[in-house]
């Protein structure tokens, strides 16, 4: 009799009450109830009973396999708990006694023996055994994975490129069809579908889809965090899942239980408006005698042009500091302020937050102090602060929202303030008349300011450092900013996520993508060492990188692999968001042969494949005429890639790049120049003479709907030219091969969406 979902509910409840994992035959009941796969004919014989002829009646195979059933024995074979026997009563009873004798030396808690049909494999070839499993993650809830199975599961996962051996997705965010489409991209599907050369289809797509549908239903019924009653499944897997006779058969099923994960209560995220665009502000922790952290924040805020008529300091015993009025406490503020910046020691922070909440002094608070959660004693401070905040959110009005602690706070150009306590001689203030349509949201303040130092044009409208996420999270900020017309690109640095917030983050990213926005993510904490470092820095345990990267990629994020790639993808998105991306045809213009070769070598990489197509007869005629005009026709072939040689001047570059951009076969152009040639104006002195390649490229960039990027591969004396090109709105790379890699990644992302 096939088990039902109600039977499974009872099985799970009983096993959880007995504080054990499911037995194999109970796992088979789950497989049957959720229609995950076929199961071998089997019968459980309790220890107190001997097998009978009726026990074997439903098993038709000539041989049977017998397995010990015990809550204490996980590795049955090593304990002597597995045996094969002919399918007759005497042989089976002899095998049962032999199993009990062997395993009795390991455990006295022997529940019984499972007698199973012996399923014969036609072949041990790759693809004959699959693995499908659910795993409950702290950040993303239940995650579904499918790929090669059997004893080589882990080996194949490590040896094959990420995403090729298996597919991974959130069971709460993906439909069965979504997951099946991911699985179709794996090498595993290539084998089971018969797509590999010389292979035959092993199983129908319908069987795979039915299996995935059942796993997702199981996850949503029994793994979905605090949304579901009863025992919480932490892991359920079938390995191996045999592919034979165009059907799937589960040869083993493992189920383990874990603690129920509860997400954080909702925050009043509408108040983020007061955080990002405050009309009034108070600062706590400004010294009147020294230039401390609070004093730097005060000076930065004033320098940004914040309305000083609504700027106050909480400082007993003082009347003015840097021409800013002081009050003794929150009760003495002349108005309820939109934003309070707390820049005091961690040990003083809990009382400060209590006072802010008690006096209803603000709608938003930035908590700067470090030492909350990261240091000895800091964990208790953070727990106290979180409890105060949670209690406030449960009151009418929801209390204020909080950013931090251990953060640099916020730099808001629309809000005209900057709490980054970095002296202006260390980091140039970004106060552009028209900031880029960019929001940077980072758990690490240091990561963000080093990117801003590295990338001269990184002037976001909003730069928010989240720190420990004691209240507001990265996903809250993304959700709030999703409809902001001033933001097209969201640069996100993650270290760790609070419980179940990964699901919320993925949904926020999906929402951004649906609105035509570009979320770019760098996820830190990829290795054991990286996760340990992350925990020490932000007191948030970093999750499994592969799961996080897969779920966010599936949601639509552009996931960067390195710090440098992150910077480059952000810059590309800011300069190319409004451009059309119709394909992967790349046009290359350079004046150095080595760059032509290097860029050609870089046209294929992880997740992208560029083409370097011919230009077409009409464009080749135009190009030939241009080369003749600039007396390059005897040196240069009119083709793509185009090597103009060091003889080409600024005008020749402009003319040839225009022809390349206008070619129907070209979807994007990389224009690279080694600036040491005397033919081009590249030094500061030459730039001062008038119209340079920067202005010519800017005109082309403005006139063409296609992406155009520049490469300037030379030393520091050409920084002025690079800055000039960037100032004209183009992305500038300092290496031709890196330009092609990052542009290829960006174009592939845009092409798919």
* Residue 493 sits in the same domain as residue 639: no
* Residue 400 sits in the same domain as residue 462: no
**Residue 727, domain member (yes or no):** yes
Residue 305 has pLDDT above 60, yes or no: yes
Q: What residues make up the domain containing 726? A: 579-752
pLDDT of residue 49: 83
* Residue 205 sits in the same domain as residue 277: no
Cα distance between residue 82 and residue 94, in whole Å = 13
The single residue listed with the structure tokens 């009760």 is 331
Name beta bridge partners: 558: 520
**Residue 15, domain member (yes or no):** no
Cα distance between residue 655 and residue 641, in whole Å = 15
* Residue 597 sits in the same domain as residue 735: yes
**Residue 11, domain member (yes or no):** no
Cα distance between residue 290 and residue 301, in whole Å = 17
State the burial class of residue 376 (Cβ atoms within 10 Å of its Cβ: 0-12, 13-18, 19+).
exposed
* Residue 496 sits in the same domain as residue 565: yes
* Residue 156 sits in the same domain as residue 303: no
Residue 751 has pLDDT above 90, yes or no: yes
Domain of 552, CATH number, reads 3.40.50.261
pLDDT of residue 149: 85
- Structurally, the chain folds into a number of domains equal to 5
Residue 539 has pLDDT above 80, yes or no: no
Query: In the numeric block, which tokens belong to residue 265?
Result: 């209560």
pLDDT of residue 521: 97
Give per-residue pLDDT as tens, 2-21. Answer: 778 888 889 999 998 898 99
**Residue 63, domain member (yes or no):** yes
Domain of 142, CATH number, reads 3.30.470.20
Residue 531 has pLDDT above 50, yes or no: no
**Residue 18, domain member (yes or no):** no
Q: Using pLDDT thresholds of 50, 70 and 90, give the confidence band for residue 372.
A: confident
Any idea which of 474-488, 628-642, 678-692 has the lowest mean pLDDT? 678-692
* Residue 292 sits in the same domain as residue 221: no
**Residue 215, domain member (yes or no):** yes
* Residue 464 sits in the same domain as residue 589: no
Residue 370 has pLDDT above 60, yes or no: yes
* Residue 533 sits in the same domain as residue 560: yes
- Is the model's pTM score more than 0.85? yes
**Residue 411 and residue 420 in contact, taking contact as beta carbons nearer than 8 Å:** yes
Cα distance between residue 176 and residue 215, in whole Å = 9
Q: How many other C-beta atoms are found inside a 10 Å radius of the C-beta of residue 362? A: 28
Q: Outline where DSSP puts E strands in 681-738.
A: 708-712, 732-733
Residues 6+ apart with CB under 8 A from 461: 412, 413, 414, 435, 436, 437, 438, 439, 486, 487
Any idea which of 324-328, 360-364, 496-500, 708-712 has the lowest mean pLDDT? 496-500
Q: Which of 122, 109, 129 is closest to 19 using CA atoms? A: 109
Angle at 101 between CA 40 and CA 107, to 5 degrees: 85
> How distant, in Å, are the alpha carbons of 22, 370, 376, 543, 600 from that of 468?
38, 9, 15, 15, 44
Q: What is the mean pLDDT of the chain?
A: 90
Cα distance between residue 393 and residue 418, in whole Å = 27
Domain end marker among 229, 257, 285 = 257
pLDDT of residue 419: 95
Domain end marker among 524, 556, 577 = 577
Q: Report phi then psi at 491, rounded to 5.
A: -95, 120
Give per-residue pLDDT as tens, 395-449. Answer: 999 999 999 989 999 999 999 999 998 888 888 766 666 789 999 999 999 999 9
Residue 537 has pLDDT above 50, yes or no: no
Give per-residue pLDDT as tens, 52-97. Answer: 767 788 898 999 999 999 999 988 999 999 999 999 999 999 999 9
Query: In the numeric block, which tokens belong to residue 173?
Result: 């965010």
Residues 6+ apart with CB under 8 A from 591: 643, 644, 645, 646, 648, 653, 672, 673, 674, 677, 680
First vs last C-alpha separation in the chain = 47
Any idea which of 41-50, 298-307, 728-737 has the lowest mean pLDDT? 41-50
Query: In the numeric block, which tokens belong to residue 32?
Result: 């049957």
Query: In the numeric block, which tokens belong to residue 153?
Result: 């599961």
**Residue 34 and residue 5 in contact, taking contact as beta carbons nearer than 8 Å:** yes
Interval 382-400 mean pLDDT = 94
* Residue 745 sits in the same domain as residue 600: yes
Domain of 87, CATH number, reads 3.30.1490.20
pLDDT of residue 96: 92
Give per-residue pLDDT as tens, 194-207. Answer: 887 777 888 999 99
In a 3-state reduction of DSSP, which class is residue 437?
A: strand
Residue 533 has pLDDT above 60, yes or no: no
**Residue 584 and residue 721 in contact, taking contact as beta carbons nearer than 8 Å:** no
* Residue 492 sits in the same domain as residue 624: no
Residue 358 has pLDDT above 50, yes or no: yes
Domain end marker among 89, 117, 145 = 117
pLDDT of residue 35: 95
Cα distance between residue 415 and residue 721, in whole Å = 32
Interval 505-531 mean pLDDT = 86
Query: In the numeric block, which tokens belong to residue 7?
Result: 């039977």
Q: Using pLDDT thresholds of 50, 70 and 90, give the confidence band for residue 122.
A: low
**Residue 367, domain member (yes or no):** yes
Query: In the numeric block, which tokens belong to residue 745?
Result: 């990644």
pLDDT of residue 536: 44
pLDDT of residue 376: 65
State the burial class of residue 17 (Cβ atoms within 10 Å of its Cβ: 0-12, 13-18, 19+).
exposed
Interval 178-190 mean pLDDT = 93
Any idea which of 30-34, 338-342, 665-669, 714-718 has the lowest mean pLDDT? 714-718
In a 3-state reduction of DSSP, which class is residue 242?
A: strand
Residue 540 has pLDDT above 80, yes or no: no
pLDDT of residue 289: 92
Any idea which of 85-89, 266-270, 654-658, 684-688 has the lowest mean pLDDT? 684-688
Give per-residue pLDDT as tens, 213-251. Answer: 999 999 998 886 555 567 889 999 998 899 887 889 999
* Residue 392 sits in the same domain as residue 472: no
State the burial class of residue 519 (Cβ atoms within 10 Å of its Cβ: 0-12, 13-18, 19+).
buried
**Residue 17, domain member (yes or no):** no
Tell me the three-class secondary structure of 337-397, residue by residue.
EEEEEECCCHHHHHHHHHHHHHCCCEEEEEECCCCCCCCCCHHHHHHHHHHHHHHHHCCCC
**Residue 56 and residue 89 in contact, taking contact as beta carbons nearer than 8 Å:** yes
Q: How many other C-beta atoms are found inside a 10 Å radius of the C-beta of residue 594? A: 13
Q: How many other C-beta atoms are found inside a 10 Å radius of the C-beta of residue 332? A: 12
């Amino acid at each position: 009799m096939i088990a039902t979902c109600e039977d499974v509910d009872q099985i799970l409840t009983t096993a959880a009450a007995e504080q054990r994992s499911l037995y194999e035959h109970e796992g088979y009941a789950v497989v049957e109830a959720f229609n995950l796969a076929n199961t071998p004919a089997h019968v459980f014989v309790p220890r107190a009973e001997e097998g009978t002829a009726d026990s074997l009646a439903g098993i038709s195979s000539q041989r049977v396999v017998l397995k010990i059933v015990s809550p204490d024995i996980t590795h049955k074979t090593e304990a002597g708990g597995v045996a094969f026997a002919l399918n007759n009563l005497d042989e089976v009873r002899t095998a049962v006694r032999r199993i009990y004798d062997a395993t009795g030396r390991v455990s006295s808690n022997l529940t019984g023996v499972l007698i199973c049909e012996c399923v014969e494999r036609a072949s041990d070839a790759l693809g004959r055994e699959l693995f499908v499993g659910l795993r409950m993650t702290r950040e993303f809830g239940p995650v579904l994975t499918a790929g090669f199975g059997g004893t080589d599961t882990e080996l194949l996962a490590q040896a094959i490129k990420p995403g090729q051996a298996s597919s991974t997705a959130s069971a709460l965010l993906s439909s069965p069809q979504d997951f099946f489409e991911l699985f179709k991209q794996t090498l595993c599907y290539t084998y089971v579908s018969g797509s590999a050369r010389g292979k035959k289809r092993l199983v129908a797509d319908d069987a795979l889809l039915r299996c995935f549908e059942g796993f997702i239903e199981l996850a949503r019924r029994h793994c979905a965090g605090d949304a579901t009653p009863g025992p919480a499944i932490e892991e359920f897997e079938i390995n191996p899942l045999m592919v034979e006779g165009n059907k799937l058969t589960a040869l083993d099923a493992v189920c383990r239980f874990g603690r129920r994960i509860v997400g954080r209560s909702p925050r009043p995220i509408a108040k983020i408006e007061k955080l990002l665009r405050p009309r009034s502000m108070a600062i706590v922790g400004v010294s009147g005698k020294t230039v401390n952290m609070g004093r730097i924040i005060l000076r930065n805020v004033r320098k940004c042009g914040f309305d000083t008529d609504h700027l106050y300091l909480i400082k007993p015993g003082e009347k003015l500091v840097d021409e800013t009025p002081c009050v003794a406490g929150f009760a003495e503020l002349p108005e309820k302020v939109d934003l309070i910046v707390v820049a005091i020691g961690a040990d003083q922070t809990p009382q400060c937050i209590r006072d802010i909440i008690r006096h209803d002094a603000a709608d938003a608070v930035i908590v700067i102090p470090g030492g909350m959660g990261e240091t000895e004693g800091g964990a208790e401070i953070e727990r106290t602060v979180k409890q105060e905040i949670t209690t406030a959110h449960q009151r009418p009005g929801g209390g204020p929202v909080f950013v931090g602690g251990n953060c640099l706070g916020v730099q808001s150009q629309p809000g005209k303030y900057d709490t980054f306590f970095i002296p202006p001689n260390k980091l140039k203030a970004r106060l552009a008349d028209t900031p880029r349509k960019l929001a940077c949201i980072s758990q690490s303040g240091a990561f963000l300011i080093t990117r801003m130092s590295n990338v001269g044009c990184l002037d976001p409208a909003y730069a928010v450092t989240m720190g420990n996420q004691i209240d507001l999270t990265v996903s809250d900020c993304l959700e709030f900013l999703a409809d902001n017309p001033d933001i097209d690109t969201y640069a996100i640095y993650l270290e760790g996520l609070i419980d179940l917030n990964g699901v919320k983050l993925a949904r926020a990213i999906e929402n951004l993508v649906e609105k035509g926005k570009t979320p770019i993510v760098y996820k830190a904490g990829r290795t054991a060492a990286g996760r340990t470092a992350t925990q020490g820095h932000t007191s948030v345990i970093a999750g499994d990188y592969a799961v996080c990267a897969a779920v966010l990629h599936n949601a639509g994020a552009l996931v960067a692999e390195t710090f440098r790639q992150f910077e480059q993808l952000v810059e590309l998105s800011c300069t190319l968001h409004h451009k059309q991306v119709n394909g992967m045809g790349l046009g290359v213009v350079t004046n150095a042969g080595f760059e032509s070769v290097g860029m050609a070598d870089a046209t294929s990489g992880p997740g992208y494949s560029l083409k370097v197509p011919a230009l077409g007869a009409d464009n080749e005629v135009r190009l030939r005429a241009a080369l003749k005009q600039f007396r390059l026709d005897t040196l240069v072939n009119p083709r793509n890639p185009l090597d103009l040689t060091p003889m080409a001047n600024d005008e020749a570059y402009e003319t040839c790049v225009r022809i390349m951009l206008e070619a129907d076969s070209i979807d994007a152009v990389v224009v690279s120049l080694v600036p040491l040639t005397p033919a081009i104006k590249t030094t500061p002195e030459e730039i001062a003479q008038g119209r340079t390649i920067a202005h010519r490229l800017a005109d082309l960039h403005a006139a063409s709907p296609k992406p155009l990027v520049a490469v300037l591969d030379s030393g520091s004396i050409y920084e002025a030219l690079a800055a000039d090109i960037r100032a004209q709105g183009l992305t500038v790379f300092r290496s031709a091969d890196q330009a092609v890699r990052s542009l290829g990644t960006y174009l592939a992302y845009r092409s798919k969406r």
